[in-house]
Chain A
């Protein structure tokens, strides 16, 4: 059962629909008690870094998510800004991330992107699998996923990088530490690949 965290950010409706249509067991939760008892947590997020961290603080969820990931070692999937929140910090904001996966979030280095469009990184792009992973079973890497972001995971330990994407340079687009996963793209808007990824997550 995937617990979809509704804390005021992220496309909950799209994830619910995806789970319904794919036969994935889910429930929508919004408080720290439900986080603490989650079997698996889906942590969506859209928008900017600081407002997202603030929302987690306001709803008292920050510590529960950390506890679930680090102490209870339950699978967590951070999506887009949700992934960025799993890191230590972000160029986009002043607040601290959850530090569930070490690394930072950096703005795309436009000096390394030689062809326009530069930022944000917007649209369908292919991915490259760096470390074989159950999350990517049957996923079509060439088709890839839908991306929409100006910041990306950076300074990630080599063993924590599951997949990269190329936009001017290779950047980590799927990261993992123990059972905490982060994906930079939007699986809920990435058609069959998104469905596969979420199905794989549900089966961990």
Chain B
């Protein structure tokens, strides 16, 4: 046996509450983050991704106390992203018990931060997240939901790896919350573009999607939202977990 795929619930936080969006919009209330972490502890998940999307609107500062209360409850490896802007913030998060920190807007605005943080906490703990949409047979990088023209997203990912990112997390805006399957075309291109671990998020509708991604890119991470948060056609909130990858 060798390295296995990492199936991770991807939780979105806004103002200290868990929400679920569709296409990065219309957040609906899911529940309390700490409760969710406890439930996922019981389910023995491989990893957990926590993204604070509050800062999109208000550019607020990170609530470290609250994040500490989350990390002390967690039995699984944790990755946190949301408004991280400095190496000292990243270092502090690692010291609090987060295994990885996720940079999104900050990496776009200030690429040298990736290298700076990587030297301080090690590249294994630095994730760069790219939000993407598909367009005319290709894919575009977005910054806070807005397409960035003139940027080749795969060159960007490769550059981030060179600068010190240990993982690329790729989030499909159009498939977010839609349960229409993962963007396998994008995943395939991303796998070719970088050597580091990649995690694909947005669109998981069943565990068949885990196998399909494995068949496309091999071992990887998979970020899962709606599929682990809702049950049934009326989308009742019910946390679940499954990390079976039927090869």
Contacts and interface: CB of A to CB of B under 8 A. Distances in A.
A149 B124 CA distance: 6
B95 A9 contact: yes
Interface stretch (A10-18, A34-42, A131-139): A10-18
B159 to A, nearest CB: 17
Interface string A113-125: 0011111111111
Interface stretch (A24-32, A43-51, A66-74): A43-51
A169 to B, nearest CB: 11
Contacts of A11: 71, 97, 99
B123 A123 contact: no
Contacts of A13: 68, 71-72, 96-97
Contacts of B191: 116
A122 B198 CA distance: 10
A48 B75 contact: no
Interface string B137-172: 000000000000000000000000000001100000
A14 B75 contact: yes
Interface residues of A, number: 38
Nearest to B76: A189
A130 interface: no
Interface stretch (B2-10, B54-62, B128-136, B228-236): B2-10
Contacts of B99: 11, 46, 148, 186, 189
Nearest to B6: A123
Given A46-B94, A117-B220, A126 B167 contact: no
Given A9-B95, A46-B99, A150 B123 contact: yes
B209 interface: no
Nearest to B73: A17
Contacts of A142: 1
Contacts of A149: 122, 124
A116 B44 CA distance: 26
Contact of B218 (A47, A115, A121): A115
Question: Looking at A14, A118, A144, which has the most chain B CB atoms within 10 Å of its CB?
Answer: A14
A179 interface: no
B122 A126 contact: no
Given A117-B197, A149-B124, A122 B167 contact: yes
Given A116-B195, A117-B220, A186-B77, A123 B46 contact: yes
A189 B195 contact: no
B179 interface: no
Contacts of B91: 47
A17 B121 contact: no
B189 interface: no
A141 B47 CA distance: 20
A117 B6 CA distance: 12
B2 A122 contact: no
Top 8 A-B pairs ranked by shortest CB distance?
A120-B124, A117-B197, A126-B1, A13-B72, A118-B195, A48-B122, A11-B97, A122-B197
Interface of B: 1-6, 44, 46-47, 68, 71-72, 74-77, 91, 94-97, 99-100, 119-125, 166-167, 191, 195-198, 217-221
7 contacts: A13-B96, A46-B94, A115-B218, A123-B5, A123-B46, A125-B2, A189-B77
